[in-house]
Amino acid sequence: MSRIVMKFGGTSVANLDCIRNVARRVKKEVDQGNQVSVFVSAMAGTTDKLVGWVEEISPLHDAREYDTVVSAGEQITSGLLALALQDIGVPARSWLGWQIPFKTNQAHSAAQVEEIEIKALNERLREGTVCVIAGFQGISSDNRITTLGRGGSDTSAVALAAAIGADRCDIYTDVDGVFTADPRIVPSAQKLEKVTYEEMLEMASLGAKVLQTRSVVMAMNHKVRVQVLSSFTDKPGTLLIDEDEIVENKVVSGITFDKNEAQVMLIGVKNNPGIASDVFKRLANENINVDMIIQNETEGGRKTDITFTVAENDATKVEKILNGAENIDFKNLITDMNVAKISVVGVGMRSHAGVAATMFETLADRGINIQVISTSEIKISVLIEAVYTELAVRSLHTAYGLDSK
């Protein structure tokens, strides 16, 4: 007997037929004698509709009431799935985040899980009851509903799997697993049988939409075995594991892209000590994440140009912050939304030379200019014009030998 946590995203529970299909999948695990907990997202499109209502009725809304509204979708789905399971003879009950409870901090709409009380849940699992849990939800110390951010159901599932010592956490999506590139862009992309936590973390943070970044961090920290697979086929998925479990690492495991980037250029900044610290501290204080950074001295060292990237939806906020900063003296501020970040990822890069050279040569051969470069041990990212995104991804996929045979 194993303990299995299953998580189904919005497309997997998009309508009643889909929910019945999920119930049949859950029943298969139960019939094998496993103790099963199931997390569900809201039905496809529901959360977007709820967010739209909040923003329409109150553009400057109270974040606590925002969480109350947008968490409602998961409550509906959990109840419907519990009913569908009962209807096919599987003992089941639904749980909301506050009923377990999932205790979080008070960072509404982006709450962090601090503690999960599992006593009542454990009792139900031992009785053979399937626990159907509303993902994405928690409760703060002041007894208010919180949400874990978009995609937070992944984090909910991995957090519970860690807390109850689950043998595996299965994340069901609308794709068959993790691919070497987006199959919609690269038809020859291959599904990866196994991928390391580090590679998946880089892929998730660099644009791959298969898993939420926070869920991967949690799985890596707590050594939770996570499997990504499709709700709509019976094909094996992709298993997230430690690097030590992979016999031979590929040099490059995947190519990712992200068009939701904006490039910000501060031109002619006075080159005084601490100027970069002042710029980025102001952005950090407004919870704006900065990614790629370049700083170049100009005018014989008297001035400097600072170039960096932020999420596209933060660009206007960045302009307002920096234009309003009286102690930051610069000639011009230029924001470019027409950019995309292209990344190559692979733990094998640690021990192989020439990965960067291949990337730069491949892009140059296609006439694609590189604007910014960022690297880590297992990834190289470049910023290019957005119009070249698909050409860059397909070309790099071929250059690194990732096309399916």
The tens digit of pLDDT for each residue in 25-72 reads 999 999 999 999 999 999 999 999 999 999 999 988 899 999 999 999
Q: CB neighbours (10 Å) of residue 312?
A: 16
What was the pLDDT predicted at 42? Answer: 95
Across the chain, mean pLDDT equals 91
Q: CB neighbours (10 Å) of residue 79?
A: 16
The tens digit of pLDDT for each residue in 162-178 reads 999 999 999 998 888 99
Residue in the structure block whose two tokens are 């956490």: 169
Report whether pLDDT(247) > 60. no
CB 102 within 8 A of CB 139: yes
Report whether pLDDT(317) > 80. yes
Report whether pLDDT(285) > 60. yes
The tens digit of pLDDT for each residue in 319-363 reads 999 988 877 888 899 999 999 999 999 988 887 888 999 999 999
Domains, the chain, in order of start with CATH, read: 3-174 (3.40.1160.10), 244-405 (3.30.2130.10)
The tens digit of pLDDT for each residue in 105-134 reads 998 988 999 999 999 999 999 999 999 999
* DSSP three-state, residue 30: helix
The tens digit of pLDDT for each residue in 187-214 reads 999 999 999 989 888 888 776 677 888 8
Residue 234 identity (one-letter amino acid):
D
CB 37 within 8 A of CB 128: no
Sheet containing 145-147, strands listed edge to edge, beginning at the edge strand earlier in sequence: 113-116, 102-104, 137-139, 145-147
DSSP state letters, 227-251: EEEESS-----EEEE-GGG-SS--S
pTM for this predicted structure: 0.83
pLDDT, average across residues 274-295? 88
What was the pLDDT predicted at 130? Answer: 98
